[in-house]
């Protein structure tokens, strides 16, 4: 695969260290696995050795052609296409886990898809992205991503992966994270409300609500009145846990419905 020239626009940085691939693939034992973007196929080969069945979806036509000739495992189903374009036409009902080295530019989209589908996953992504997912309340890296991810998944970072393990070598390091979906996750309306509050994460809850009046469809005066009904109105948004933010978002949604 060395003669191949990766496409920067597709975020192609391919894993070349077999030991890293094995660290991911051990989670595939006896399972039906989905891999998004197999790249050089180094992870795919290790998955096929352990998994019951592997569905690997590759967007790049040249890579797909090479992998079709290179990988001959009976338990491999190799599909050409952009995963987010073709996934609705695939039967993924039997998939137990997603194990992939995700292009950095697809990280957020992949997390959203996993959350919606409630899928278990082992993902290699940009280290800083994972640090934001795992960040504790009050820390500099605590963000909307932290809240969304922690409300949707129980997560454990497995290992850090230095940038030298990829070709071409990216500018930043990566990490591998294990993600198990939680049973009771926020709905779209609740997530949108949390996102609105997190836009003002340095402010107190009452001020965040008041400053969000336009987006809430009410006057600033009305927003200030509603804000006074919150027990934690003087607590700063970024110092509230994901669970606390969900509770406040639900309370705000309830108050808005009552006042409409």
Rounded Cα distance, 126 and 160, in Å: 10
Arithmetic mean of pLDDT over the chain: 94
Higher pLDDT, 168 or 177: 177
Nearest 10 degrees: Cα torsion 241, 242, 247, 253:
130
Examine the pLDDT at 103 and tell me if it is beyond 60: yes
pLDDT-based confidence at residue 1 (cuts at 50, 70, 90): very low
Prediction pTM value? 0.92
- Cβ atoms 129, 167 nearer than 8 A: no
Taking the C-alpha atoms of residue 42 and residue 19, their distance in angstroms, rounded to an integer, is 10
Could you tell me which residue, 47 or 6, shows the higher pLDDT? 47
Q: What is the 3-state secondary structure (H, E, C) of the chain?
A: CCCCCCCHHHCCCEECCHHHHHHHHHHHCCCEEEEECCCCCHHHHHHHHHCCEEEEEECCHHHHHHHHHHCCCCCEEEEECCHHHHHHHCCCCCCCEEEEECCHHHHHHHHHHHHHHCCEEEEEEEHHHHHHHHCCCCCCCCCHHHHHHHHHEEEEEEEEECHHHEECCCCCCEEEEEEEECCCCCCHHHHHHHHHHHCCCCCEHHHHHHHCHHHHCCCHHHHHHHHCCCCCCCCEHHHCCHHHHHHHHHHHHHHHHHHC
The pLDDT value recorded for residue 260 is 73
Q: Which long-range contacts (CB under 8 A, 24 or more apart) does 222-225 make?
A: 222/259
| Structure confidence by residue, pLDDT tens digits, 203-235 | 999 999 999 999 999 999 999 999 999 999 999
The answer, yes or no, to whether residue 3 has pLDDT greater than 60, is no
Are the C-beta atoms of residues 202 and 209 closer than 8 Å to each other? no
pLDDT in tens, 67-97: 999 999 999 999 999 999 999 999 999 999 9
pLDDT of residue 2: 47
pLDDT value for 9: 52
Q: What residues does 33 pair with on adjacent strands?
A: 54, 97
- Contact in structure between 86 and 64 (CB atoms under 8 Å): no
Domains of the chain: 8-181 (3.40.50.150), 188-259 (1.10.8.100)
Q: What average pLDDT does this structure show over 102-129?
A: 95
């Amino acid at each position: 695969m060395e003669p191949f020239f990766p496409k920067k626009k597709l975020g192609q940085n391919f894993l070349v260290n077999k030991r890293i691939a094995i660290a991911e693939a051990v989670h595939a034992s006896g399972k039906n696995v989905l891999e998004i973007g197999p790249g050089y196929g180094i992870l795919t080969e290790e998955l096929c050795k352990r998994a019951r069945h592997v569905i690997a979806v590759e967007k790049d036509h040249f890579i797909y052609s090479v992998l079709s000739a290179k990988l001959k495992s009976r338990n491999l189903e190799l599909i050409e296409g952009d995963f987010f374009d073709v996934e609705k036409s695939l039967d993924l009902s039997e998939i137990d886990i997603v194990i992939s080295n995700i292009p950095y530019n697809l990280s957020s989209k992949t997390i959203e898809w996993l959350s919606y589908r409630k899928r278990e996953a082992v993902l290699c992504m940009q280290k800083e992205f994972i640090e934001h997912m795992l960040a504790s309340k009050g820390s500099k890296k605590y963000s909307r991503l932290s809240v969304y991810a922690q409300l949707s998944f129980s997560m454990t970072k497995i290992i850090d992966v230095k940038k030298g393990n990829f070709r071409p070598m990216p500018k930043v390091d990566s990490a591998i994270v294990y993600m198990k979906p939680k049973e009771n996750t926020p709905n779209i309306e609740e997530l949108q409300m949390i996102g609105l509050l997190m836009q003002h994460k340095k402010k107190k809850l009452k001020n965040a609500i008041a400053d969000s009046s336009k987006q809430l469809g009410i006057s600033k005066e009305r927003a200030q009145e509603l804000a006074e009904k919150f027990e934690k109105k003087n607590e700063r948004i970024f110092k509230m846990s994901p669970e606390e933010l969900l509770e406040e978002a639900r309370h705000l949604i309830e108050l808005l419905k009552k006042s409409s």
